[in-house]
Amino acid sequence: MVTRSGRNILRQGDFRARTFDSEPFELQPSQGHLGFRPNPTHSFTPDIKFAPKIQSLRYTYAAAKMARLLKTSASNFQSRLEAEGKTMLKVLFLLVALGAVAGAIGMLSSPNPVHSALFLVWTLFCVAAVYLLLGAEFLAIVQIIVYAGAIMVLFLFIIMLLNLRRDELGDDPLPGQWTWGLMFSALLAVALVSVAGAAVTLRFSGDPLALTPIPEIARVMFTKYLLAVEIASLILLIAMVGVVVLAKRPKEGA
């Protein structure tokens, strides 16, 4: 048998095979598996186990070759997967971020309020994608349901209720507002981004592709933040009552 490198590894009387891997392995009939230990941090690394019994050398050789191939390709795949996964995450994130920012800019620049709302919906979807990329899938779904699905709908309701058309608001009474606003916002962005870029020395730990198990969130929420849950429900109740009161039409003749 000739390996890729052209070396004849099978010699008469020599049951030891050599691969490029650093660790040689020995075929020992008593051992149940090849001395191949998978990486414990990678949860889905294929754990290659072979049948404990090797009947004949022939099969052994074939099995050894196959095992070698698999191992190489597995590790190759793993590392390639990891490498590409990391890059993939970054690329994906950049795309999503770009989308979010584009949506925000679109929201700001659109004269039609309905278009602004729709741009915001797009932005919220992108934010949900960011949550996903950060491993918070529960939040991502909640974001879509609550924000994009309820809040923005409410916005659109109101816009259409008030029958707002394009911005026909006449002359701007505050001409300096644009300059100052742009300047301050730019400064704000600069400040925050520089903080984000320079001052934060944290690094993500753990599996970048790990997802958050929902039971964990539930556990934290209902033990540590139980009071907050109750208060949140109260707030929602108050909000409901408040909305009804505020939106009432004044009684005739009152």
Q: For residues 166-205, which are near another protein according to CB under 8 A?
A: 167, 169-170, 172-174, 177-178, 180-182, 184-189, 191-197, 199-200, 202-205
Question: What span, in angstroms and rounded, lies between the C-alpha atoms of 158 and 12?
Answer: 86
Cβ at position 76, least distance to another protein in Å: 19
Q: Give the residue, chosen from 10, 27, 48, 159, that forms a contact with another protein under the rule CB under 8 A.
A: 159
* Positions 88 through 147 that interact with another protein (CB under 8 A): 89-90, 93-94, 97, 100-101, 104-105, 107-108, 113, 116-117, 120, 123-124, 127, 130-131, 133-136, 138-139, 142-143, 146-147
Using the structure block, give the residue that is written with the tokens 């939040």: 139
| Binding of another protein by 86 (CB under 8 A) | yes
As given in the structure block, the two tokens for residue 254 are: 């009152």
Question: What span, in angstroms and rounded, lies between the C-alpha atoms of 65 and 19?
Answer: 10
Question: What span, in angstroms and rounded, lies between the C-alpha atoms of 69 and 74?
Answer: 8
| Binding of another protein by 16 (CB under 8 A) | no
Cα angle 50-54-56, degrees, rounded to a multiple of 5: 140
* Binding residues with another protein: total (CB under 8 A): 95
| Binding of another protein by 17 (CB under 8 A) | no
Question: What span, in angstroms and rounded, lies between the C-alpha atoms of 234 and 236?
Answer: 5
* Positions 203 through 232 that interact with another protein (CB under 8 A): 203-209, 212, 216-217, 220-221, 224-225, 228-229, 232
| Coil/strand/helix, residue 11 | strand
Using the structure block, give the residue that is written with the tokens 């294929």: 46
